[in-house]
Amino acid sequence: MDIIMPQLGETVAEGTLTVWHKSEGDDVVTNELLFEIGTDKVEMEVPAPVSGKLEKIFVKAGETVEVGAVLGRINSGDASNDDQSSEESEKSPSSSPNNLAEKQYKSNLSLSDHLSPAVRRLIAEHKLDSSKINGTGRDGRIKKSDVLEYMNANKNSLHELSSGSQNADEPKFIDGKSIIPFSRIRQVTAEHMVRSKTISPHVNQGIEVDFSKVDSARKSISSDWKEREGFSLTYLPFIIKALCGALADFPNLNSHIEENNLIVFKDVQLAVAVDLGLEGLVTPVIRDISSLSVTEIARSVSSIARLARKGSLKPEDFKGGTYTVTNNGALGTLYTTPIINQPQVGVLSVDGVAKRPIVVDRDGEDNIVVRPIGVITQAFDHRAIDGAYSAAFLKRLKDIIENHDWTSLLS
């Protein structure tokens, strides 16, 4: 590197090198005092600009030269030292003067796996699989435009690019799979079902019931019942009414198990299973159901189901049930083996009622007649009661349903 006579003032054109502090051949270190100069205005000490060997001295002490004249040379060992300043300005912009004053933004981390908020959001909204998206950003990261391109290219398999949550009626399949996360209620239902099955030894018992008398009662109601009440009169309210009578005779089924005790309840607080579509199952309680008439029972069931589906019920509406009934019959199933609603000991499933040929005894002779027949199944906790008790209960239930004067009860 050339050592030159510095500019010591705007109007100064030359300077005198007064003293060398290093000799030719000496090693010098950056900022070490190298020489002194004087002008008519000022004297100054000049440090070595680089480290190296003071290879040559051209201007001796006491000589006066022009500003800019070469005084000596330091060999730093780098090739092309002389071009150092011009080379720097031609180098890549990261070392250009414009960036000297501010510390540079330098990222040491690789962005390849990083998903920016914009990208995350798009992936979540459209339920995409990020491993399928080609990233063309820095370090190969997926940038927003990559996601948009992917969505565009896969328009058909992703169905419509809606931003809403997945519609249960229209599953979007990606790679043959549609992932539907459990709703909170579904999760709670699932957890309860597993727990119940691990706690109670379930035994299922079914009995066939002839609904002729119930049917007569149903036919006897006025034609504007549905319009008036807002719902149809099904078999369920009758069965529930009969259930109350049967439980009165077999109270051990209207109970809870707590540790090794059977807590038998005086009154029936009936939990009714309400299906919330794919969201799950809830069992709100109709209080003191034994005091209600069939019509009142019908109204209670309808209203509680409606409120449950609307989400208007409160936590206390689900507490205190002593027995549960679940109505699965609407679609004509034969029987169902329900899961006990802890800590109760029994649950009744009402299934489809359909016309079937049965044998009845007429004056000692067997005759085939057509009757509306449905199977009612009870699942009971075998810790609390045994098969004989349950069977006797079901027989009582059947008797009430088959023999009660339902028509007069409705009027």
Partner 1 sequence: MAELTYREAVADGIAQEMERDPNVVFLGEDIGKAGGVFKATVGLYDQFGPDRVRDTPISEQAILGAAMGAAMTGLKPIAEIMFSDFLAVCWDIVANQIAKSRYMTDGQVNVPLVIRTANGGGARFGAQHSQSVENWSMMIPGLKVVAPSTPRDVKGLLAAAVRDPDPVMFFEQKSLYPVKGEIPDGECIEELGKAKVVREGSDVTIVALAAMVPRAVEAADRLKTEANISVGVIDLRSLVPLDTQTIFKEVEKTSRLITVEENPRLCGWGAEVSSIVSEELFWNLDMPIVRVTTPHIPLPSADELEDIAIPSVEKIFQTVLRSVD
Q: Is 335 within 8 Å of 377 (Cβ atoms)?
A: yes
**Residue 126: active-site member:** no
Helices 236-249 and 294-310, packing angle to 10 deg: 110
Q: Which is nearer to partner 1, 120 or 186 (CB)?
A: 120
Q: Which is nearer to partner 1, 56 or 144 (CB)?
A: 144
Question: How buried is 214 (Cβ within 10 angstroms: 0-12 exposed, 13-18 middle, 19+ buried)?
Answer: buried
**Residue 386: active-site member:** yes
Which H helix or E strand runs over 39?
none
Q: Which is nearer to partner 1, 148 or 174 (CB)?
A: 148
**94, two tokens:** 């990261």
Q: How far is the CB of 94 from partner 1 (least distance, A)?
A: 8
Residue tagged active-site, from 386, 399, 404, 405 = 386
Q: How far is the CB of 99 from partner 1 (least distance, A)?
A: 7
Q: How far is the CB of 144 from partner 1 (least distance, A)?
A: 4
Q: Which is nearer to partner 1, 8 or 119 (CB)?
A: 119
Beta bridge partners of 270: 286, 323
Which residue type is seen at 314?
K
Give the C-alpha distances (Å, rounded to integers) separating 11 from 14, 62, 68, 139, 142. 9, 21, 14, 55, 60
Instruction: Characterize 197-212 residue by residue with b for buried, 16 or more Cβ atoms within 10 angstroms of its Cβ, and e for exposed.
Output: eeebebeeebbebbbb
Which residue type is seen at 365?
E
Residue tagged active-site, from 21, 114, 192, 382 = 382
**85, two tokens:** 């300043």
Q: Which is nearer to partner 1, 133 or 240 (CB)?
A: 133
- List of E strands, 43-183: 43-47, 52-57, 64-66, 70-75
Q: Which is nearer to partner 1, 111 or 193 (CB)?
A: 111
- Phi and psi of 54, rounded to 5°? -75, 90
Give the residue from 169, 103, 172, 174 showing the smallest Cα distance to 133: 174
**128, two tokens:** 């995409």
- List of E strands, 363-404: 365-381
Rounded (5°) CA angle 36-38-41: 145
Q: How far is the CB of 70 from partner 1 (least distance, A)?
A: 24
Per the omega criterion (within 30 degrees of 0), is the bond before 343 cis? yes
Site residues for partner 1 per CB under 8 A: 93-94, 96-102, 105, 111, 116-121, 137-138, 141, 143-144
Q: Which is nearer to partner 1, 21 or 141 (CB)?
A: 141
Instruction: Give me the residue label for tokens 């092309």.
Output: 80
Which residue type is seen at 160?
E
- Phi and psi of 333, rounded to 5°? -65, 155
- SS3 track for 79-104: CCCCCHHHHHHHCCHHHCHHHCCCCC
Q: Which is nearer to partner 1, 164 or 357 (CB)?
A: 164
Q: How far is the CB of 19 from partner 1 (least distance, A)?
A: 29
Active-site residues, by number, are 382, 386
